[in-house]
Structure 1
Amino acid sequence: MVLASTPPTIFTATSAYSLLAVLAVGTVAYISANALLPKHARWQDRYIFIWLAFDAMIHFSFEGSFLWLSLFGRQVNTSVGPFAEMWREYAKADFRWGFADPDVVSLELLTVLVAGPLCCYILKQLAANDPARHYWIVVLCTAELYGGWMTFCPEWLIGSPNLNTSNPLYLWVYLAFMNLLWVFIPLLLMVDSYGFIAGTLRQAQKNSGRKAV
């Protein structure tokens, strides 16, 4: 008699509360945009504010907890607590997060200590309608795109031994969706800021030419 093997669990309680926590962060970001942005702000700036507030909170809380567990604990796989459980869940998709891979930890140091505060600075500029924010948005988005590339490209080059794509949740939600957010949204923000910077400089050049005449 051949016993049927138990199918792998796709969705767990940890998956549920982890995704709910992400949703809660997004809700706080949305509320903060409505509370802090001027009513006459561009609709693009409202969505940018929501993203940057979400981005900052993810960097400080989720990724900050990973750094704490990796640097001051032992590693995610041997730590206890809700954040350790959450990261162990993600580490089922990308094993490197479970054993504090030094390359991942190095990138997360920059993400938490540099990108997180820079998000907050840009949020302050957005609330004040300071056009200088467009420069810093380009800096932030370039850094985040580079961070994403350096997180996955070295892994792809060696055949992705640490990535588990056997579970649809791991592949499409944890690895694809959760990481591609930090590709497509930064690209959109860069396009918007490029348009503002280039348009302003061209207008200034045109005005300068008129004065010279």
Structure 2
Amino acid sequence: MDRTFDILGLKWPRGTPQISHPYYPLGVTIPEYVPNEAPVPVLLTALGGMLGFAMLGASAVALKVNPNLTKSNLALLCWFVMNGCLHCFFEGYFVFNHATIASSQNVFAQLWKEYALSDSRYLTSDFFMLSIESITAFVWGPLCFANAISIVRDSPARHALRIIVCMAHLYGVALYYSTTLCETYFTGRSHSRPEFLYFWVYLVGFNLPWAIIPAILLYDSVRTISRATKALDKMSYTLDTQDTQHRRRNGKRAVVEPKKTK
């Protein structure tokens, strides 16, 4: 008699409790897991609405403070405001509530449970995720808001701040992808479900903008600073040359001009 039963194509001994959640790797422990109540479109609409409200509000305030803001600067402002909100509030929620997300039903918890189908480490209080998300929430989030403020004020430090945050985003995405793929390659354990939606759309696609956009902004800021430095060096050289010539002319006059006698 066959004493096994089939779950997701795998044979399990009879008497073994069935998996009570849909997360990978199979058998991972997620205590007190409760399935989401809201459908995915509703959750995404709620998140999009909150972010949209924040960006529209920030844009309105920014234009009131600085009516000369260009469309490109407004787009940058929205990007950094969106990042600040995601880092401080959405990812900050994870940092403070990682142990209870699996059993919670508020919007942020359900969003995390949905995303965790592509990375179950968000429901297991994984130390790496807690570390990187804590840095993101408490350091990079406020710096994103600082970037937004520097754009509105047209601060000379805006490109320096932008470079710091862009490097942080690129480094964070590199760490996230590398830890995920290396563990899968070397141990065969995958924290993502194998379906196209969860691996390619959620895991790869949702994080890809934080590799592409920061790379573009980083290139632009480095180029801008390089041009400014080159212009400053040229101006400094010109001023030094003029000062040297002026001193030489004054020196010659001092030698040629006869002394006045009483």
The structure with the greater share of residues assigned to helix is: 1
TM-score, normalised via structure 2 length: 0.70
TM-score when scaled to structure 1? 0.85
Q: Secondary structure at the match of 1:179?
A: coil
- Residue-by-residue CA offset, 1:100-144 (whole Å, 9 max, x unaligned): 211011000000000111111121111111021110110111111
Do the aligned partners of 1:75 and 1:99 also contact (CA within 8 Å) in 2? no
Which residue of the other structure, out of 191, 196, 203, is the alignment partner of 2:219? Answer: 191
Give the direction of change, closer, same or farther, for the CA distance of 1:27–1:183 in structure 2 (3 Å limit).
farther
On the 8 A contact 1:69/1:79 being kept in 2, the answer is: no
Partner of 1:166: 195
- 1:65-87 deviation line (CA, Å, top 9, x unaligned): 111212xxx24223443322221
- 1:167 and 1:113 mapped to 2: Cα distance? 33
Match of 2:89, SS state, is helix
- Matched with 1:60 is 88
Q: Deviations over 1:42-93 (max 9, x none)?
A: 33322110100010111122111111212xxx24223443322221111111
In the aligned structure 1, how far is the partner of 2:96 from the partner of 2:60?
32
Give distance in 1, aligned partners of 2:44 and 2:200. 13
Equivalent in 85, 107, 117 of residue 92 of structure 1: 117
* Equivalent residue, structure 2, for 1:15: 40
Give the letter aligned to residue 19 of structure 1: L
The separation in 1 between residues aligned to 2:202 and 2:38, in whole angstroms, is 15
Count of aligned positions: 199
Structure 1: segments with no counterpart, 5+ residues: 1-7
What percentage of residue pairs aligned between the two structures are identical?
28
The separation in 2 between residues aligned to 1:208 and 1:153, in whole angstroms, is 45
Higher Cα Rg, which structure: 2
Distance in 2 between the 1:41 and 1:153 partners? 38
- Structure 2 vs 1, CA of residues 146 and 197 (structure 1 numbering), >3 Å: closer, same or farther? same
What is the aligned counterpart of 1:50 among 78, 87, 91? 78
- Is the partner of 2:192 in helix, strand or coil? coil
